[in-house]
Chain A
Amino acid sequence: MIKAILVFNNHGKPRLSKFYQYFSEDMQQQIIKETFQLVSKRDDNVCNFLEGGSLIGGSDYKLIYRHYATLYFVFCVDSSESELGILDLIQVFVETLDKCFENVCELDLIFHVDKVHYILNELVMGGMVLETNMTEILTRIEDQNKLEKQEAGIIAAPARAVSAVKNMNIPQQIKDMKLPDLPQAIKDLKF
Chain B
Amino acid sequence: MALKKVKGNFERMFDKNLTDLVRGIRNNKENEAKYIAQCMEDIKQELRQDNLSVKSNAIAKLTYLQMLGYDISWAGFNIIEVMSSGKFTLKRIGYLAASQSFHCDSELLMLTTNMIRKELNSQTQYEAGLALTSLSCYISTDLARDLSNDILTLLSSTKPYIRKKAVLMMYKVFLKYPEALRPAFPRLKEKLEDPDPGVQSAAVNVVCELARKNPKNYLSLAPVFFKLMTTSSNNWMLIKIIKLFGALTPLEPRLGRKLIEPLTNLIHSTSAMSLLYECINTVIAVLISISSGMPNHAASIQLCVQKLRILIEDSDQNLKYLGLLAMSKILKTHPKSVQAHKDLILQCLEDKDESIRLRALDLLYGMVSKKNLMEIVKKLMLHMDKAEGTVYRDELLSKIILICSQNNYQFITNFEWYVTVLVELAQMEFGSRQGHVIAAQLMDVCIRVPAIRKFAVTEMAQLLEVYASTSQFTIMQEVLLAATFLCGEFASELENQEQTLRAIVKYKTLPQHIEAVFIQNIFKLFVNIMLKLEVAERYDDILALVDVILSRLSDAVMSGELEVQERASTTCVMLKIIKEAMEIKKKEDSTLITDNEGIEKPSVDPSHTLAGELMVLFTGELNPVAPKAQKKVPIPEGLDLDSWINEPEEGSDTDSGSEIVDNLFVKPEKGNFKSEKYQPELTEEELQKIREARKYEQLNNPHYLKGGISKKSFDSTNGNIQTIDNIPVKELDLNIPLKLAGQKRSDKYLNLDKDKKKSNKKKGKKSKKHKLESSSDENEQEIAASLVVNRNLELPEGATLSDSESSHGNMDDPHRALDIDLELPATLEVLKKKEVAIDRVKKSKKSKKKVEKERGVAIIDEKESHEDITQTNNEDVQPVDDHEKKPKKKSKKDKKDGDKKEKRHKKDKNRDKDGKTKTSSRNKMPEPGYEEAVGISTPSKEFQS
Give A residues with C-beta under 8 Å from B: 1, 14, 16-18, 20, 22, 24-26, 28-29, 42-43, 45-52, 59-60, 80, 82-85, 87-88, 110-111, 113-114, 117-118, 121, 125-133, 136, 140, 143-144, 147-148, 151-152, 155-156, 158-159, 162-163, 165-166, 170-171
Contacts and interface: CB of A to CB of B under 8 A. Distances in A.
Most buried by A among B20, B137, B164, B205: B137
B96 A80 contact: no
A174 B803 CA distance: 84
Given A113-B64, A126-B168, A126-B169, A84 B19 contact: no
A52 B138 CA distance: 27
B318 interface: yes
A131 B202 CA distance: 8
Nearest to B237: A132
B96 A117 contact: yes
24 contacts: A17-B67, A20-B137, A22-B104, A25-B66, A29-B69, A46-B356, A48-B317, A50-B355, A80-B212, A83-B322, A84-B322, A85-B236, A87-B274, A111-B23, A113-B64, A126-B137, A126-B168, A126-B169, A126-B171, A128-B171, A128-B209, A129-B205, A143-B126, A158-B9
A165 B912 contact: no
A43 B165 contact: no
B123 to A, nearest CB: 12
Contacts of A24: 71
B134 to A, nearest CB: 8
Nearest to B206: A128
B164 A47 contact: no
A152 B202 CA distance: 33
Contact of B69 (A25, A50, A59, A83): A25
B88 interface: yes
A88 B53 CA distance: 38
Contacts of A148: 88-89, 92
Interface residues of B, number: 76
Most buried by A among B273, B317, B358: B317
Contact of B13 (A43, A83, A133, A166): A166
A1 B209 contact: yes
Contact of A43 (B12, B66, B212, B352): B352
A125 B133 contact: yes
Contacts of A128: 168, 171, 202, 205-206, 209
B220 interface: no
Contact of B133 (A29, A126, A166): A126
Contacts of B168: 125-126, 128, 130
Given A26-B69, A118-B92, 9 more contacts: A52-B391, A84-B322, A111-B23, A114-B64, A125-B168, A126-B168, A126-B171, A128-B206, A165-B13
A8 B712 CA distance: 66
Contacts of A17: 67
A111 B321 contact: no
Nearest to A30: B69
Contacts of B138: 22
A42 B356 CA distance: 12
B19 A111 contact: yes
B239 interface: yes
Interface string B179-215: 0000000000000000000100110011011001000
B817 interface: no
Contact of B60 (A80, A114, A121, A163): A114
A165 B96 CA distance: 27
A25 B102 CA distance: 11
B299 interface: no
A133 B704 CA distance: 68
Listed from nearest, the 6 A-B pairs whose CB atoms lie closest are A126-B136, A84-B274, A47-B317, A22-B103, A46-B353, A29-B69
A114 B198 contact: no
Given A20-B137, A26-B69, A132 B236 contact: yes
A148 B130 CA distance: 13
Interface string B1-45: 000000001001110011110110010000000000000000000
A162 B320 CA distance: 56
Contacts of B64: 113-114
Nearest to A140: B161
Contacts of B124: 147
B278 interface: yes
A125 B126 contact: no
A82 B318 contact: no
Most buried by A among B67, B169, B208, B352: B67
Most buried by B among A20, A121, A147, A156: A121
B212 A82 contact: no
B206 to A, nearest CB: 7
Contacts of B12: 162
A48 to B, nearest CB: 6
A78 B353 CA distance: 22
Contact of B355 (A46, A159, A163, A170): A46
B943 to A, nearest CB: 24
B484 interface: no
